[in-house]
Structure 1
C-alpha cells in the first residue's frame, strides 16, 4: 500500500471534510444508496473479493467503497491525480473538466478523514491495469468513472471484466450524458457484443454483470425503494430485464389565492425577491440528512 498520513503542510492545504457531502464530486444520493445496498447484499450472501475503482477524483465514492471492505479485502483506486495524461485527447479532457482541482494529496486527506488507512493507490492512467496487476477474478465490485473517451472506457470495461469474479458487479458512470457519447458507445458495445448483462440503470450510472443478472436484480428488489423516495421501473434490453431507479418528483405546491394575487400585484423586483425567499424556505424544510459518501 502506497503513501502514509498526509504531512502537516498537506493537512493545512486540504482541511478534512466534516461530513461526506463536503467532498466535491458527482456521486449522488441515489447511486450512494445503490452502491451501499449491493455491497451489503454481497457481504450478507458471503460473496467476497476486492473492490476496484477506476477514476476516483477527490474520494467521494472511494470513501463509501472503503466502508464496505471486509477483513482480508482491499480497495484499489487508480487515477492520474497530479500526473500528466499519456495522450493529447486525455490531457485536453482533463484540462477542460478538473485538472486544477484533482490532486492526490486532496484525495488522501479526504479519505483519511473517514478511514484509518489509505487504499492501494495507482497513480497512473487506468490502462496500466491491463498488465495483470489486478488478479483475474479477484474483485466483487468495480466502479468505472475515469475517462469519457471511447477507447479509454472500452479498455476500462475490459479491465473490469477480467478483474471481476463470478458474482461481480460493475458500475459505469456517465453512460447516458449528452457530453459523453464515447462512454455510451463503449457501454452498449459491451452489452451487445461483449456479454455484459444490464442489471440497473440510474440517471448517472449503468450497473451490470457478466454473471447472473437475474440474481442481482432480485437483490435490488429486496429493498422498498419507493418508501425511500425513489421510483422503480422495469425494461427489457437485449433479452435481459433491467431495473430503472430515479428520484420521485414532488407535486408542485399550490399557492393560495391571496398569496398568488399578492405576488402578481407586487412590482417585478419585489416579486423576484419574494419568490427567492419562499424558495429558500422550502429548500430548508426539504433538507434531510442522508447516508452515503
Structure 2
C-alpha cells in the first residue's frame, strides 16, 4: 500500500483526471445544473458508472444543501454476468475505488455516497422521484443500459434530466439500441445531443430547449443544428475549438515554474565610437565604425 501511494500522481486540474468527458459535455452539464439551481429545483444527483471520477468531480460541485450525490460503480468488483465481466476486464482493468476516491478528494472535502455494486441495485438504494440529474455510463451492454434507463425514469423528478453516454459510438451498438428504444417506445424526450451524449427528460422539453438554443446561439465555440425526427425536435451541439470549463484547481495543484528568459548582454560603446556617432557626418561615421570594428 505504501508503494502505491508513493507512485500515485494526484491531479492538479480536472483535465488531469483520466476519462472521457470532453469540454462540450462539461459545458452542458454545468449549464443544466446551473439552470436547475436558478429555477429553484431541489433534488439529488446520481451517476451510474464513474470510472476515475472526472464527471463525478464536476457533478459534486453542484450538490446543494440537503441534497445527496450517489455514485454507483463496480470499481473492479465482481460483475453480475459473464458478458459484463468480460467488458469490465477489457475496458476498466485499471479502475479501482481507491483511484476514484483519491481523485474526487483532490477537489472536494468529502466523498459522495459510493455504492460499489452493479447498477442493477440502484432502484433499491435510491428513493423514487428524488433525483434532478442522472448520468448513465455504467455499461455498453443493451440489457444493462435498458434497465438503467428504466431505473432513471423511476428515480427522476418529473422534469429531471437524464444523460446517456456513448449513444452513438461505433463500439457501443447496444447503447444506441437501448437509447433510441427509450426515445421511440418509452416516453423519453430528447433535449439535445452532443457528440458523445444524449440529454433527455420524461417531462416537457420545450422550455428548457428554448433556453438552451438561446445559449448555444450566443456561443462562437459551439456549432448548432436542429432537426425533426419521429415527432421530436433534435438539437445537436458540436464543439468548435471549445476549451474546458473554468473549474477550481485541486488541492494538489502546483503552479509551473516559469522558464527564465536568457538576457543577451549589450556591448558598451567606446568613447571614440560615441563621439563619432554623435558629431561626425554620416559618411565619416561609417568609415570610423569600420576602422573601429577592424581594430577590435
State the TM-score, normalizing by the size of structure 2: 0.79
Aligned to 1:257: none
Off by >3 Å, runs of 4+ in structure 1: 7-15, 287-290
- Alpha-carbon distance, 1:241 to partner: 1.2
After TM superposition, list the pairs within 5 Å mapping 1:169-248 onto structure 2: 169-225=161-217, 227-248=219-240
Gaps of 5+ in 1: 1-6, 250-286
Aligned to 2:36: 42
Aligned to 2:18: 24
Whether the 8 Å contact between 1:198 and 1:237 is mirrored in structure 2 is no
Pair 1:234–1:13, CA change in 2 (3 A): same
Pair 1:112–1:182, CA change in 2 (3 A): same
Aligned to 1:93: 87
2:219 partner SS? helix
Distance in 2 between residues matched to 1:40 and 1:9, nearest whole Å: 41
Whether the 8 Å contact between 1:52 and 1:142 is mirrored in structure 2 is yes
Distance in 1 between residues matched to 2:64 and 2:149, nearest whole Å: 24
Distance in 1 between residues matched to 2:209 and 2:52, nearest whole Å: 30
- Alpha-carbon distance, 1:27 to partner: 0.6
- Alpha-carbon distance, 1:103 to partner: 0.4
Pair 1:238–1:204, CA change in 2 (3 A): same
Larger radius of gyration: 2
Distance in 1 between residues matched to 2:189 and 2:247, nearest whole Å: 26
Distance in 2 between residues matched to 1:288 and 1:230, nearest whole Å: 11
Distance in 1 between residues matched to 2:243 and 2:198, nearest whole Å: 26
Aligned to 2:66: 72
Deviates more, 1:135-144 or 1:212-221: 212-221
State the TM-score, normalizing by the size of structure 1: 0.80
Distance in 2 between residues matched to 1:163 and 1:148, nearest whole Å: 21
- Alpha-carbon distance, 1:247 to partner: 1.8
